């Protein structure tokens, strides 16, 4: 016999939960009151719910298992919806809870919490009886951790938490859902690759989540494939590999043109050609084929007609495809493969050199360019650092200087909501206490959840926030310019003069950080970046580097 609130905490303990990311309210008082009896939980107090959800999202991606987030009734839960939607769209396993009023108040002010968040969760439910809690929490973790992964919501009425019942504390068990691919699909994919003269490989986050980087490299090298990354929230292919071409974006005219030259795209764990703007119902030319390998059935064929769709674990599928190709390759195929590989390596090297040359003229510009900032920070951070990318409009520049050889070296805030960077940086640090963590965060995004700096100080989370302070919502200007130039095909764009996108009163992020107990430094000279990074790392405490950069387009 035990109360519902005790059963909840016993289930969390049985599930192996060690961190609770939360912002409590009065209705969560019964849970908070009992936490003193459970020292095994580290409760991270946040001052705004988006910070808690951002921490939970990054913690889950770092550990590979569902995190636990505790929010407050309906108002607090609503504050977390934006980043819960991102977690749903990108498949991050989380269990989110909040408490409600007594179920007998249904005729007064009681909100249907499960209905409130149903559109942004994989499964949502609200409990009114204490003995519902163990089995529901078991299912919640099972739902969150199995493909397609995503956030789950469980609500508790106060009488469910305070009531007594006989409880069976049985945790969820691992679900072995690494699906083996269908051999016929593998055979068809191998035939298309062997008969292709201009193939390319597109990798995405779900390949990274299946720990299939080595398998992707082996196949790319075997066939001499140029490799692009879709999205880029996780490292899905070593960015230092000579065949790596960087991120693929339809908003880049040259890349749209390049897609018209391919005759086959092998997409693995990626959403092919997903984009903010509409570029047409079908992106590839009529003669091109699309082979899509993905562990999530609903992703295949979602955004582009698919010729061969293979549902399966990315690593297992790539292994099978590589073996099928090896069995059928002959010496006569090697010259074409070698030529394709040489062309790919040369093109990647040329693109990197062209970017460096384009930045040389403004290298000593004041305020410093984003490229100069990224170059200096990348050179200054420790070799074992994890970098969280919330650089928003400067992501392309950021990825030119920061390298990722394996999953976890780079971790971007993913999804369409901004404001995740501060929480994601702290969540990543909590999951990786033995590695330094740097968050590269846009100033506009940082201000969405600036309360998170207090949490870093309060819980001594020793991550380092690096703010790209360009004094604007620069991403709005960039997107509007692309929309006018590439979508509307206007001869001139006005994105650089877009109203309400500049911060007329500049943010002094260093001063804000210092007011919340986090050491902050404002930097305008590139030469000051490395000393500031060294001081922050040596302190072993949270720090913020407020770097003033040029925000012009």
State the number of CA atoms in the 13 A half-sphere of 379 facing the CB: 12
Residues 212 and 139 in one domain: no
Report how far residue 338's alpha carbon sits from residue 320's, in angstroms, rounded to the nearest whole number: 22
pLDDT-above-90 percentage for the chain: 92
| The last residue of a domain, from among 301, 330, 351 | 351
Mean pLDDT by 10-residue block, N- to C-terminus, for the chain (553 residues)? 97 98 94 96 97 97 97 94 92 96 82 95 97 98 94 96 97 93 98 97 96 98 97 92 95 91 97 89 95 94 94 98 97 96 96 95 97 98 96 93 94 86 98 98 96 98 97 93 92 92 92 98 98 98 98 92
Q: Look at residue 40 in the predicted model and tell me its pLDDT.
A: 96
Q: Which of 463, 449, 434, 456 is nearest to 536 (CA)?
A: 463
Q: Look at residue 248 in the predicted model and tell me its pLDDT.
A: 94
Residues 47 and 89 in one domain: yes
Q: Going by DSSP bridges, is the β-strand pair 2-3/164-165 parallel, antiparallel, or unpaired?
A: antiparallel
Q: Look at residue 190 in the predicted model and tell me its pLDDT.
A: 98
Structural domain count, the chain: 3
Q: Look at residue 303 in the predicted model and tell me its pLDDT.
A: 86
Report how far residue 436's alpha carbon sits from residue 61's, in angstroms, rounded to the nearest whole number: 17
Domain-located, residue 499: no
Write out the two tokens for 248.
């693929």
Q: What is the CATH number of the domain that holds 282?
A: 3.40.50.1220
Residues 158 and 220 in one domain: no
Q: Look at residue 164 in the predicted model and tell me its pLDDT.
A: 97
Residues 347 and 366 in one domain: no
Q: Look at residue 109 in the predicted model and tell me its pLDDT.
A: 76
Q: Look at residue 314 in the predicted model and tell me its pLDDT.
A: 98
| The last residue of a domain, from among 332, 351, 370 | 351
Residues 345 and 407 in one domain: no
Q: What are phi and psi of 18, to 5 degrees?
A: -120, -20
Q: Look at residue 55 in the predicted model and tell me its pLDDT.
A: 98
| Sign of the CA dihedral with 427 first, then 433, 434, and 439 last | positive
Q: Look at residue 107 in the predicted model and tell me its pLDDT.
A: 77
At residue 92, the 3 state secondary structure works out as coil
The answer for residues whose C-beta is within 8 angstroms of residue 211's C-beta and 6 or more apart is: 315, 407
Site of tokens 């016999």: 1
| pTM summary value | 0.95
Domain-located, residue 425: yes
Domain-located, residue 175: no
Residues 147 and 29 in one domain: yes
Report how far residue 9's alpha carbon sits from residue 201's, in angstroms, rounded to the nearest whole number: 45
Residues 383 and 311 in one domain: no
Q: Look at residue 82 in the predicted model and tell me its pLDDT.
A: 92
Domain-located, residue 73: yes
Q: What is the CATH number of the domain that holds 24?
A: 3.40.50.970
Residues 192 and 144 in one domain: no
State the number of CA atoms in the 13 A half-sphere of 160 facing the CB: 21
Contact of 312 with 180, CB cutoff 8 Å:
yes
Residues 295 and 212 in one domain: yes
Domain-located, residue 298: yes
Task: Please report, for residues 152, 229, 248, 273, 441, the alpha-carbon distance to residue 267 in angstroms, rounded to integers and kept in the order given.
Answer: 28, 9, 12, 10, 29
Residue 115 burial (C-beta neighbours within 10 Å; 0-12, 13-18, 19+): exposed
Q: Look at residue 275 in the predicted model and tell me its pLDDT.
A: 85
Residues 408 and 513 in one domain: yes
Report how far residue 532's alpha carbon sits from residue 485's, in angstroms, rounded to the nearest whole number: 40
Residues 401 and 310 in one domain: no
Domain-located, residue 52: yes
Domain-located, residue 383: yes
Residue ranges making up the domain that contains 143: 2-165
> Strands, E, within 5-150: which ranges?
19-22, 42-45, 67-70, 94-99, 123-127
Residues 297 and 336 in one domain: yes
| The last residue of a domain, from among 114, 137, 165 | 165
What are the tens digits of pLDDT across the range 24-64? 999 999 999 999 999 999 999 999 999 999 999 999 999 99
Domain-located, residue 373: yes
């Amino acid at each position: 016999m035990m109360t519902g609130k005790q059963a909840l905490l016993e289930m969390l303990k049985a599930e192996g939960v060690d961190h609770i990311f939360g912002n409590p309210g009065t209705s969560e008082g019964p849970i908070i009151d009992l936490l003193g009896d459970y020292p095994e939980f580290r409760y991270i107090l946040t001052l705004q719910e988006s910070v808690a959800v951002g921490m939970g999202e990054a913690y889950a991606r770092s550990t590979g298992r569902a995190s636990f987030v505790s929010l407050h009734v309906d108002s607090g839960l609503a504050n977390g919806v934006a980043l819960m939607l991102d977690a749903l769209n990108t498949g991050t396993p989380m269990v989110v809870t909040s408490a409600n009023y007594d179920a007998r108040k249904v005729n007064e002010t009681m909100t249907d919490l499960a209905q409130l968040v149903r559109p942004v969760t994989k499964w949502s439910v609200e409990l009114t009886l204490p003995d519902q809690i163990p089995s529901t929490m078991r299912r919640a973790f099972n739902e969150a951790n199995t493909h397609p992964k995503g956030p789950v919501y469980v609500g508790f009425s106060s009488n469910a938490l305070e009531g007594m019942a006989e409880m069976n504390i049985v945790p969820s068990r691992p679900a072995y859902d690494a699906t083996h691919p269908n051999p016929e699909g593998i055979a068809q994919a191998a035939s298309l690759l062997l008969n292709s003269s201009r193939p390319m490989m597109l990798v995405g986050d779900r390949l990274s989540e299946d720990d299939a980087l080595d398998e992707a490299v082996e196949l790319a090298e075997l066939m001499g494939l140029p490799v692009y990354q879709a999205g880029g929230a996780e490292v899905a292919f070593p960015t230092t590999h000579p065949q790596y071409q960087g991120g693929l974006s339809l908003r880049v005219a040259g890349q749209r043109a390049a897609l018209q030259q391919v005759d086959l795209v092998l997409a693995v764990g990626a959403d092919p050609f997903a984009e903010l703007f509409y570029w047409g119902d079908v992106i590839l030319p009529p003669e091109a084929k699309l082979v899509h390998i993905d562990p999530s059935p609903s992703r295949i064929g979602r955004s582009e007609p698919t010729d061969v769709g293979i549902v399966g674990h990315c690593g297992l599928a790539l292994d099978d495809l590589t073996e099928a190709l090896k069995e059928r390759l002959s010496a006569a195929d090697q010259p074409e493969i070698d030529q394709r590989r040489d062309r790919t390596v040369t093109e990647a090297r040329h693109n990197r050199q062209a970017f460096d040359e384009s930045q040389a003229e403004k290298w000593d510009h004041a305020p410093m360019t984003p490229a100069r900032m990224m170059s200096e920070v990348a050179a200054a951070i420790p070799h074992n650092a994890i970098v969280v990318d919330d650089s928003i409009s400067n992501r392309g520049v950021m990825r030119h200087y920061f390298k990722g050889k394996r999953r976890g070296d780079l971790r971007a805030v993913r999804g369409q909501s901004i404001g995740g960077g501060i929480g994601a940086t702290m969540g990543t640090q909590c999951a990786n206490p033995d590695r330094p963590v740097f968050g590269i965060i846009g100033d506009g995004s940082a201000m969405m959840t600036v309360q998170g700096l207090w949490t870093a100080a309060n819980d001594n989370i020793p991550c380092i926030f690096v703010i790209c302070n360009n004094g604007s919502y620069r991403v709005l200007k960039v997107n509007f310019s692309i929309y006018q130039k590439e979508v509307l095909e206007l001869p001139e764009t006005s994105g650089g003069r877009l109203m309400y996108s500049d911060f007329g009163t500049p943010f002094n992020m260093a001063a804000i950080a210092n007011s919340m107990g986090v050491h902050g430094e404002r930097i305008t000279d590139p030469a000051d970046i490395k000393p500031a990074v060294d001081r922050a790392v040596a302190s072993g405490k949270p720090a913020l580097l407020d770097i003033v950069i040029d925000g012009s387009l």
